[in-house]
Structure 1
């Protein structure tokens, strides 16, 4: 499945490091290590199961698209 926890955590850390491009780059490298392509947002089936299970009732699908967009945009293109 999609690694929602790591994606959200790294996205938040990426923005906490705003203004520090070296630290942001480190976050992206960790994202690459922790969230392989087969566990990123593109694997989301948009079924909404995650939102039904979320105790905070977050709009996970929308947040996942936003956070993954930022992190994937900066992923190295090997």
Structure 2
């Protein structure tokens, strides 16, 4: 299929949307789940990050807390995961996983 190039207006819209997303400082996890297999805590780290982004992007703290709580009920708490620390350095995106998990625990375990 032939693709038509984006118009200048479409390019500008994409740039503005990206600026807005960058300003939010969401957790940029692509949910590849590289950090999950073999986790001794059994925690679904990308799901924790997804919950935090509900709060950061949409301001929906109650929904974020509900998603967070349902995720940690199936496994350890994020705070216990932070103490384990075995996932640090395994992310192919080189995200500071422990820092993000601490932020999630601080905000969503209140």
Is TM more than 0.5 here? Answer: yes
Structure 2 residue aligned with 1:57:
94
Pair 1:16 & 2:57 matched: yes
Structure 1 residue aligned with 2:80:
43
Structure 2 residue aligned with 1:69:
106
Give, in whole Å, the separation in 2 of the partners of 1:63 and 1:10: 12
RCO comparison, higher one (Cα < 8 Å, 6+): 1
CA contact 1:7–1:68 (8 Å) conserved in 2:
no
C-alpha displacement at 1:24, in angstroms? 2.6
| More helix by percentage | 1
Over aligned residues, Cα RMSD in angstroms? 2.2
Name the larger-Rg structure: 2
CA contact 2:82–2:102 (8 Å) conserved in 1:
no
Give, in whole Å, the separation in 2 of the partners of 1:28 and 1:45: 18
CA contact 2:72–2:78 (8 Å) conserved in 1:
no
TM (norm. structure 1) is 0.68
TM (norm. structure 2) is 0.52
Q: How many residues align?
A: 69
Give, in whole Å, the separation in 1 of the partners of 2:108 and 2:101: 10
Q: Name stretches of at least 5 consecutive residues in structure 1 with no aligned partner.
A: 74-78
